[in-house]
Amino acid sequence: MIKSYKHIIWDWNGTILCDVDLGIEIMNELLHQRSLPLLTSLSYRDLFAIPVKDYYVRLGFDFAKEPFEIVGKLWMDEYELRKFECGLYDGVVGVLDSIQQLGIGQSILSAYSQHTLDQMVDHYGLRKYFTHIAGLDNIYAASKLHLGQDLIKRLGIGKREAMVVGDTEHDYEVARAMDADCILIANGHQSKTRLQALGVPVLDDVRSLVH
């Protein structure tokens, strides 16, 4: 599935880092405080979106009463306190190792803030697998399109020589903007039904990338 590519570009949250349950838990506390309907793991995957500001609107937040910059920071502050409660997806280290042994380059492209992304990659001992680790300069996860276009230039590879591995519609959008192929994993932040509608391969488990 991946041997024909020169570079694999990984999403972080929901693809390598299993942080879905923590994200739901933190959001449900914010929703409860505002008497808004709570999320289940199913409803979350149908509602989550990037830019995350759109996701907050879907959940019923009223930015006229409480600006996104404030409520978004409340969520992120709690996430930052608890981020190391998350683990990596089962088998992902073995997949990274297998790709490295094939001589294929790997990078991370994330809408997560650069500082925290670096901190977490080091915490989990993964830096040795990646030539580039690209994150945003803020906490608001608006888009990573510009990061992806910059990364593909830095890699100096041609069309369809890179593959993006992610878990959201936004990863697909980024792959298209980069002229890269895309494979999506359906155990992250968006439902399998939403991902399958995009017309690219959708896997149930990251381990299927190399098996």
- Summarised one tens digit per residue, pLDDT across range 84-113 is 999 999 999 999 999 999 999 999 999 888
Establish whether the linkage from the previous residue to 37 is cis, with ω within 30° of 0: no
> Is 50 exceeded by the pLDDT of residue 139?
no
162-194 per-position pLDDT tens digit: 999 999 999 999 999 889 999 999 999 999 999
Residues 183 and 101 in one domain: yes
Please state, rounded to an integer, the average pLDDT across all residues of the chain. 93
Burial 61-86 (b: 16+ CB within 10 A, else e): beeeeeebeebbeebbebbeeebeeb
The CATH number linked to 110 is 3.40.50.1000
pLDDT for res 112: 82
DSSP label of 13? B
Residues 107 and 190 in one domain: yes
* Contact assessment for residue 120 and residue 107, using Cβ atoms and an 8 Å cutoff: no
Half-sphere exposure of 55 (CA within 13 A, CB side): 26
Residues 144 and 71 in one domain: no
Residues 94 and 198 in one domain: yes
Residue 97 in any domain: the answer is: yes
CA distance 187 to 121: 20
DSSP string, 113-129: EHHHHHHHHHHTT-GGG
Residue 205 in any domain: the answer is: yes
Query: Over pLDDT 70: what percentage of the chain?
Result: 97
| Tally: H helices and E strands in the chain | 9, 8
CA distance 31 to 38: 6
When divided into structural domains, the chain yields a total of 2
pLDDT for res 143: 56
**Residue of higher predicted confidence among 138 and 83:** 83
4-21 per-position pLDDT tens digit: 999 999 999 999 999 999
Token pair for 157:
């590879």
Q: In terms of Cα–Cα distance, which of 104, 138, 102, 120 is closest to 12? A: 120
Residues 104 and 187 in one domain: yes
Q: What is the rounded average pLDDT of the residues 120-130?
A: 97
Query: Over pLDDT 90: what percentage of the chain?
Result: 79
Strands 162-166 and 181-185: parallel
Quote the Cα angle for 162-208-159, to 5°.
Answer: 10
- Please state, in angstroms and as integers, the Cα–Cα distance from residue 29 to each residue in 33, 70, 74, 103, 113, following that order: 6, 15, 11, 45, 23
> Is 60 exceeded by the pLDDT of residue 138?
no
25-77 per-position pLDDT tens digit: 999 999 999 999 999 999 999 999 988 899 999 999 999 999 999 999 999 99
Residues 14 and 24 in one domain: no
pLDDT for res 152: 87
Residue 1 in any domain: the answer is: no
pLDDT for res 162: 95
Residues 69 and 92 in one domain: no
Domain span including residue 178: 7-18+87-209
pLDDT for res 140: 43
Residues 75 and 105 in one domain: no
Token pair for 195:
């991902």
Residue 2 in any domain: the answer is: no
Residues 59 and 112 in one domain: no
